[in-house]
Amino acid sequence: MSNVIAIDGPSGAGKSSVSRIVGRRLGYLHVDSGALYRILTWQCLAAGVDMESPEAICAFASSVDIECRPEDGRVAYYVGGEAPGERIRTPQINANASKVAREKPVRDKVTALLKGMVKYGNLVVEGRDITTAVFPDSPARFYLTASAEARARRRQKEEVDKGIANQSAEAVKASLLARDAMDSTRKYAPLRKADGALEIDSSDLTLDEVVEAVVSALPKEWRA
C-alpha cells in the first residue's frame, strides 16, 4: 500500500512549492492535480469548445487522453505525446479552469486518474478536493492557506519570473479570488477544509517553515 500525503488549499497558498520539496525530501512523487484540470481546459480552448456550455465541455473533455508517467520525482502528463509546459498557466486558462473543474464527469475522470497513481508508489498530491474526495482516508491531510494579498503577490511574481504574463497585483488578486469563489461554491467536491486536516496559514511563514510543519505532522514511520 502506498502512502499518500494530501494537501488542499486555495490558489497561491504555496501548495506546489511545498509539495515538491516534501516529495523530494521523502522520495515521494509529486502529483499536481490542478494541472489535470488545466490540461482539459487547455484542450477545450484549443478545440474551440463553447466554454459556456457544460454539455460541450463534458463531451469534449471525456475524449481527451492524458498519459501519466512517473518521471523526475513527479507524475508527468502528456497529451498526444506532448508535455503541456507553461501553456496551461496562462491568464486565459486561469479564467476558464473553474468552469471545467466544476463538471461532475470531468471530476470523475480526474479523480480516477489520481486514484490510479498509487500504483507508482508513495505520493504527495495537491489540489482542492484531495483531502475530502480523492484520498479522504489518508492519515496525512493538510489545508494550506494564506491571506489573499500574500497569495496574489506570489502568483504575480511567478507569472513575471516565468514570463507567462505581466499583470498587476490587483488583476492577479481579482482573478484568484474569482476562481476561489467558484471552486468553493461549486456543487461537486468544493474546496473546503476537511474535518481532521491540519490547517497551516503560510502568510507569515517561510517555505522551509511550512515544509517543516508538514513533515513533522506526518506519521513517524513515513518520516524515516
Q: Which residues bind ligand DC (CB under 6 A)?
A: 11, 33-34, 37-38, 97-98, 101, 127-130, 179, 183
CB of 102 to ligand DC, least distance (A): 7
CB of 168 to ligand DC, least distance (A): 19
CB of 33 to ligand DC, least distance (A): 4
Q: Rounded to the nearest 5 degrees, what angle is found at the Cα of 222, between the Cα atoms of 194 and 17?
A: 60
Nearer to ligand DC, 95 or 205 (CB): 95
Q: How far apart are CA 129 and CA 131, in angstroms?
A: 6
What phi and psi values does residue 67 have, to the nearest 5 degrees? -90, 130
Asked if residue 210 lies in contact with residue 144, where contact means CB atoms within 8 angstroms, the answer is yes
Give the SS3 label for residue 121: coil
CB of 144 to ligand DC, least distance (A): 11
Nearer to ligand DC, 20 or 179 (CB): 179
Q: How far apart are CA 213 and CA 215, in angstroms?
A: 6
Q: Rounded to the nearest 5 degrees, what angle is found at the Cα of 111, between the Cα atoms of 108 and 114?
A: 155
CB of 152 to ligand DC, least distance (A): 13
CB burial of 182-193 (b: ≥16 within 10 Å; e: otherwise) equals bbeebeebebeb
Nearer to ligand DC, 187 or 223 (CB): 187
Nearer to ligand DC, 92 or 223 (CB): 92
Nearer to ligand DC, 37 or 142 (CB): 37
CB of 125 to ligand DC, least distance (A): 8
Nearer to ligand DC, 124 or 216 (CB): 124
